[in-house]
Amino acid sequence: MGIGTDTWVDDAADDGIFKVNTEVFRDPEIFALERQRIFDRSWLYVGHESEVESPGDFVCRSVGGHPVIMVRGKDESVRVLYNTCLHQGNQVCRVPSGHTSAFQCFFHGWTYDVDGKLVGLPGESSYGGRFTRQEHGLRAPRVASHRGFVFMCCDPGTESLADYLGAAAAYLDLVADQAEDMVVLPGSHRYTTHANWKMATMNAHDGYHVATTHATYLKYLRDSGVDPSQRRLGKRLDLGNGHSASEFFGAWGRPVARWAAYWPEALQEQLATKRAELTATFGEDRARLMAEVDRNLLLFPNLVINDHSAVLIRTWEPQSVDEIVVTAWTIAPRQEAEEIRALRLRNYLTFFGPAGFATPDDIEALECVQRGLRNQAMQWLDVSKGAATEASAPEQDDNADEIQLRAIWRRWRLDMGGSLLTAGSR
Ligand SMILES: [Fe+2]
């Protein structure tokens, strides 16, 4: 590692300067530090409780580099267990999801119940008197959930999930409150991208790239009778702790009057009924927010929830300094009209899907950046758009400004142990 933490992020926003050292996108030693200082300390998204509805239902995930099992226990609570046998470290579960009464390690046959207790092992009597089953239950990280969204944390010293989420929790509520029973729909998208994880984090709601990177989608909207230039600007919000949100009025996401052409006539009545229900439950202001405003939520370090053309839950698991595995799901009301569900899924696939309008273009950009940054002559990457006016207008109303990206980098720098570079020290 040729540089110290002080030279990783140059934050002089008052002077309109915000730069990130490109070493942090290509140095494997910095990546190893990120594993310890960010992924092993943060609350990371594991899954949604609806994915494991009954006792014995489970999904296997890799979270921050840790293979885990999210499982509904016999007492109905959702647990996250390390997928590692206490005998010799083998993974006790090797299928992505299912239903079981026990996890049996295929290596030597140790068997654990769905609560992680060791309930059987061949030849137990030869272990001697000091061996206890209690000491050999599956280990677990800290686990907490907010409105059905399950997170884990490997560090006992990290604040509670509620404190970690802070103001961002309200944005999870805006998804959870859309129906009495929100469920992750079966199936997921999963793909590898040859890019540094932080570029994916920045891309999660970078407004500046949309007009150019996603020109094909904007043309599609125009061809569908929707004028994307009518897209109204919204807000970019630094929610604290590295989390951020953007709120905007998209040309596709909400069945409001000006985009009526995009929404089938036959659905208008059902949508009006739903809007009336939201108003009755949450009041006019919150119902308007839920029904008319699109939003992207970025939870540091690697979860995005985009609520517009459908609700996307996406996380990206770093494999190395230049590779991530992305997994994406969609969440929807358990009960909804067949035509609305079909439209929701079509929107999800055509925009967020791995062969949709957005994702292939974004992947191409992320991978091209990773290759471009091999040129070490390019020492600084610029994230200063809108920095000069950040202090006077913290809720930036230009979609293309980058306050939400600077929020990511400030948290990153703090976690990594770096300090602020001042203008005078450059
Ligand atoms: Fe994009």
Question: pLDDT tens digits for 341-387?
Answer: 888 898 899 889 999 999 999 999 999 999 999 998 989 999 999 88
User: What is the predicted pLDDT for the residue at 420?
Assistant: 42
Question: pLDDT tens digits for 170-220?
Answer: 999 999 999 999 999 999 999 999 999 999 999 987 888 988 999 998 888
Helix residue ranges per DSSP H, 193-242: 197-203, 210-213, 215-223
User: What is the predicted pLDDT for the residue at 255?
Assistant: 54
Please give the distance, rounded to the nearest whole angstrom, from the Cα atom of residue 38 to the centre of ligand 1: 24
5 — pLDDT class (breaks 50, 70, 90) = low
Please give the distance, rounded to the nearest whole angstrom, from the Cα atom of residue 367 to the centre of ligand 1: 13
Please give the distance, rounded to the nearest whole angstrom, from the Cα atom of residue 145 to the centre of ligand 1: 29
From-to residues of CATH 3.90.380.10 in the chain: 187-254+293-416
Please give the distance, rounded to the nearest whole angstrom, from the Cα atom of residue 271 to the centre of ligand 1: 28
User: What is the predicted pLDDT for the residue at 340?
Assistant: 84
Please give the distance, rounded to the nearest whole angstrom, from the Cα atom of residue 421 to the centre of ligand 1: 30
Please give the distance, rounded to the nearest whole angstrom, from the Cα atom of residue 227 to the centre of ligand 1: 19
How far is residue 149's CA from residue 314's CA, in Å, rounded to a whole number?
A: 12
User: What is the predicted pLDDT for the residue at 367?
Assistant: 98
Question: pLDDT tens digits for 248-286?
Answer: 876 565 655 545 556 677 777 888 888 899 999 999 999
Instruction: Give the fold, CATH level 3, of 44-162.
Output: Rieske Iron-sulfur Protein (2.102.10)
Phi, psi of 203 (to 5 degrees): -65, -20
Q: How far is CA 6 from the centre of its chain?
A: 28
Please give the distance, rounded to the nearest whole angstrom, from the Cα atom of residue 292 to the centre of ligand 1: 21
Q: How far apart are the first and last CA of the chain?
A: 20
Contact 205, 244 (CB under 8 A): yes
Question: pLDDT tens digits for 86-123?
Answer: 999 999 999 999 999 999 999 999 999 999 999 999 99
Please give the distance, rounded to the nearest whole angstrom, from the Cα atom of residue 388 to the centre of ligand 1: 25
| 19-42: average pLDDT | 96
Question: pLDDT tens digits for 274-330?
Answer: 889 999 999 999 998 888 888 899 999 999 999 987 899 999 999 999 999 999 999
Please give the distance, rounded to the nearest whole angstrom, from the Cα atom of residue 203 to the centre of ligand 1: 6
Give the pair of three-digit tokens for residue 244.
Answer: 């951020």
Please give the distance, rounded to the nearest whole angstrom, from the Cα atom of residue 185 to the centre of ligand 1: 23
Contact 263, 272 (CB under 8 A): no
426 — pLDDT class (breaks 50, 70, 90) = very low
Choose the CATH number for 187-254+293-416 among 3.30.70.360, 3.30.479.30, 3.20.20.70, 3.90.380.10. Answer: 3.90.380.10
CA dihedral (140, 142, 145, 148) in degrees, to 10, reads -10
Three-class SS state of 159: coil
User: What is the predicted pLDDT for the residue at 258?
Assistant: 47
Residue 297 CA: distances (Å) to CA of 43, 123, 175, 289, 294:
15, 51, 10, 14, 10
Overall pTM surpassing 0.85 (yes/no): yes
Give the pair of three-digit tokens for residue 248.
Answer: 């905007």
Please give the distance, rounded to the nearest whole angstrom, from the Cα atom of residue 202 to the centre of ligand 1: 10
CA angle 247, 13, 165 (to 5 degrees): 45
| 400-408: average pLDDT | 87
Please give the distance, rounded to the nearest whole angstrom, from the Cα atom of residue 269 to the centre of ligand 1: 32
Please give the distance, rounded to the nearest whole angstrom, from the Cα atom of residue 123 to the centre of ligand 1: 56
User: What is the predicted pLDDT for the residue at 423?
Assistant: 36
Q: Judge whether residue 401 has pLDDT over 50.
A: yes
Query: Could you identify the residue written with the tokens 């469920």?
Result: 183
Please give the distance, rounded to the nearest whole angstrom, from the Cα atom of residue 302 to the centre of ligand 1: 16
132 — pLDDT class (breaks 50, 70, 90) = very high
Please give the distance, rounded to the nearest whole angstrom, from the Cα atom of residue 362 to the centre of ligand 1: 5
Please give the distance, rounded to the nearest whole angstrom, from the Cα atom of residue 328 to the centre of ligand 1: 15
How far is residue 140's CA from residue 154's CA, in Å, rounded to a whole number?
A: 9
| 57-83: average pLDDT | 97
Please give the distance, rounded to the nearest whole angstrom, from the Cα atom of residue 124 to the centre of ligand 1: 55
User: What is the predicted pLDDT for the residue at 347?
Assistant: 86
Contact 284, 276 (CB under 8 A): no
How far is residue 342's CA from residue 54's CA, in Å, rounded to a whole number?
A: 26
Please give the distance, rounded to the nearest whole angstrom, from the Cα atom of residue 268 to the centre of ligand 1: 29
From-to residues of CATH 2.102.10.10 in the chain: 44-162
Please give the distance, rounded to the nearest whole angstrom, from the Cα atom of residue 204 to the centre of ligand 1: 7
